[in-house]
A = this chain, B = another copy of it.
Amino acid sequence: MKLKRWLPCLDWAASYDKATAGKDGLAAVIVTLMLIPQSLAYAMLAGLPPITGLYASIAPLFLYAIFGSSRTLAVGPVAVVSLMTAAALGPIFAAESAEYLGAAMLLAALSGVILLLMAIFRLGFLANFLSHPVISGFISASGLLIALSQLKHILGVQAQGQTVLELLPSLVAQLPSVHTPTLMIGGLCLVFLQLVRTRLKGLLLGLGCSKGWADALTKTGPVLTIIVSVMAVTLGDLASAGVQVVGEIPEGLPLLRLPTMDLQLAIELLPAALLISLVGFVESVSVAQTLAAKRRERIDPDQELVGLGTANIAAAVSGGFPVTGGFARSIVNFDAGAKTPMAGVLTAVGIALTALFFTPLFHNLPHAVLAATIIVAVLSLVDLQSLKRTWRFSKQDFIAQAATMIGVLFMGVEIGIIMGVSLSLLLFLWRTSRPHSAVVGQLPGSEHFRNIERFAVIQSDSVVSLRVDESLYFPNARYLEERIIELMVEYPQCQHLVLMCSGVNLIDASALDSLEAIAERLKAADVQLHLSEVKGPVMDQLHRSEFLQHFGGQVFVSQYAAMQALDQSSVAQAARAVHA
């Protein structure tokens, strides 16, 4: 039982049969065909030799199949994490150098260790601090940034930089030296791939093709592009004409070897590794949860940390770079009918066979084609509409989202994400420091009390009820003091003030001091403070102080009970009773 908890594969391996194997096998073939160009392309995006993309798609898939809890997640190099790898290493080492590769492996190792530590200390909740608007802003801006960074391959020029501010001038300066044959190939691929993605399925369906076939044919677009472009380059000898191609790729499986072991470098890369781990984990868990929900399966976020952690360590010791669960490929895997992580194992076998026997086929594959594959893939992640939706729903979320985007585009991926998270938290703190509060009255015919400004309610002359819609803690402690001073000016006949605490989820030491000051001041003005609807945990806490003994008022279980007790006893009520 205990072992099963740590090895989710025992769950499905026990009942694995031929029928499932058939389904997994078919899915593996489709994912392999999709993963080969993606792996080569994302390695290029990460600043690494293309073969490392294949390496990063072998061992990690085995490990994830053993330790991961999702049945259908497809692990490997993904766009955003590759971009973050390039952003971390690009400024330190020359692209495609041995040092760069060693550092990329170290980054994967660090990321793996961080994920495993998060699993051991149950820190998966840290991923929750990346809010949805921040993630959405991060993905969109990364998509734009990646597309921009790949333009140089389409144009056949050199360009450097990690941000829009660096990339754009660098590209513009190179415009005069655009390499026409490269641009032709790249441009054609871009247009073709975009048409395949957006139009082909509809066209095929319109021609009477079945949905399954239409889906399958649409997926072959990138493979077809690669075959045609390799043939064109080979036949036209375009490589000699200056079209940049992948070139010689060493055949064979990756050798097991350790990443660069350099403590200084490890410390330098730690922040990047931390962000890569968090972003990768969030992306992966989101996909895994979405897919699991469709088939009423469950995933265990803590186990996902183990799966992704071991996958990254596998990448680190087999010549790879940071990996995580990819969105597009997982959906393809799921749609193609994968039932268990065995599909991932079979995909790894497919990639391994490719690395062993088929790498010469990629010699004449142009960089421009890989770049076109990346651009079309990442532009589909860009969702500028969501900015509008967020703006409408919450200005604060919008600020966090926009800041993340601006940060990523103009200051770099790491700064962008840190800005987004910090702003989200600061805006929340700022908001709780100026809480909403409402004077409440009784809804006629009920025991319920609501805001006098929103509902037609009954108010007492002598009892004022204030509902504070926030936990009382230090940033807003003084606010309550001021609000109550104003209230006493507004209601001069007030004899009892009831603080309705249904929205108060916490009272800290500063707020307790404030409450004591408020009770004192009210007493001096002949007004008695009471509390109502204090929640259990808050009540427990008040019992640990001396406030309840000293403040002189009562704590009522409900606002209605408070009103019944206090409005009865007041002089005003007595007077009304006499008149009635």
A positions within 8 Å CB-CB of B: 125, 128-134, 293, 296, 389-390, 392-394, 396-397, 424-425, 428-429, 431-436, 438, 443, 446-448, 450-451, 454, 469-471, 473-479, 502-506, 508-510, 512-513, 517, 521, 524, 533, 535-537, 541, 544-545, 557-558, 560-561
A450 to B538, CA, bound (A): 14
Q: B469 contacts A513, CB within 8 Å?
A: no
A389 to B547, CA, bound (A): 12
A393 to B448, CA, bound (A): 32
Q: B560 contacts A393, CB within 8 Å?
A: no
Q: B454 contacts A508, CB within 8 Å?
A: no
Q: Contacts A433-B128, A475-B128, A503-B502 given: A397-B447 contact, CB under 8 Å?
A: no
Question: Which one of B133, B510, B513, B535 lies within 8 Å of A503 (CB-CB)?
Answer: B535
Give the chain B neighbours of A394 by CB distance below 8 A.
Answer: 508-509, 541, 544
Q: A129 contacts B448, CB within 8 Å?
A: no
Which 6 pairs, one residue from A and one from B, show the smallest C-beta to C-beta distance? A131-B474, A447-B447, A448-B558, A502-B502, A132-B510, A397-B509
A509 to B133, CA, bound (A): 7
Give the chain B neighbours of A473 by CB distance below 8 A.
Answer: 131, 428
Q: A131 contacts B510, CB within 8 Å?
A: yes
Give the chain B neighbours of A128 by CB distance below 8 A.
Answer: 433, 474-479
Q: Contacts A508-B131, A541-B393 given: A560-B436 contact, CB under 8 Å?
A: no
Question: Could you list some 27 contacts between A and B, CB below 8 A?
Answer: A125-B433, A128-B476, A128-B477, A129-B475, A132-B474, A132-B509, A293-B517, A293-B521, A296-B524, A392-B544, A393-B509, A393-B544, A394-B544, A397-B508, A397-B509, A428-B508, A431-B506, A436-B535, A436-B537, A443-B557, A447-B447, A448-B533, A448-B557, A448-B561, A454-B536, A503-B504, A503-B505
Give the chain B neighbours of A469 by CB distance below 8 A.
Answer: 505, 535, 537
Nearest-Cβ distance from residue A530 to partner chain B, whole angstroms: 16
* Residue among A293, A446, A536 with the highest chain B CB neighbour number at 10 A: A536
Q: A446 contacts B561, CB within 8 Å?
A: yes
User: Across the two chains, which residue of chain B brings its CB closest to A545?
Assistant: B393
A454 to B534, CA, bound (A): 12
Q: B435 contacts A505, CB within 8 Å?
A: yes
Q: B505 contacts A424, CB within 8 Å?
A: no
Nearest-Cβ distance from residue A110 to partner chain B, whole angstroms: 24
* Residue among A425, A474, A560 with the highest chain B CB neighbour number at 10 A: A474
A469 to B540, CA, bound (A): 15
Nearest-Cβ distance from residue A419 to partner chain B, whole angstroms: 15
A524 to B292, CA, bound (A): 14
Question: Which one of B434, B502, B508 lies within 8 Å of A396 (CB-CB)?
Answer: B508
* Residue among A479, A509, A510, A541 with the highest chain B CB neighbour number at 10 A: A509
Question: Which one of B447, B535, B537 lies within 8 Å of A560 (CB-CB)?
Answer: B447
Give the chain B neighbours of A443 by CB distance below 8 A.
Answer: 557-558
Give the chain B neighbours of A476 by CB distance below 8 A.
Answer: 128
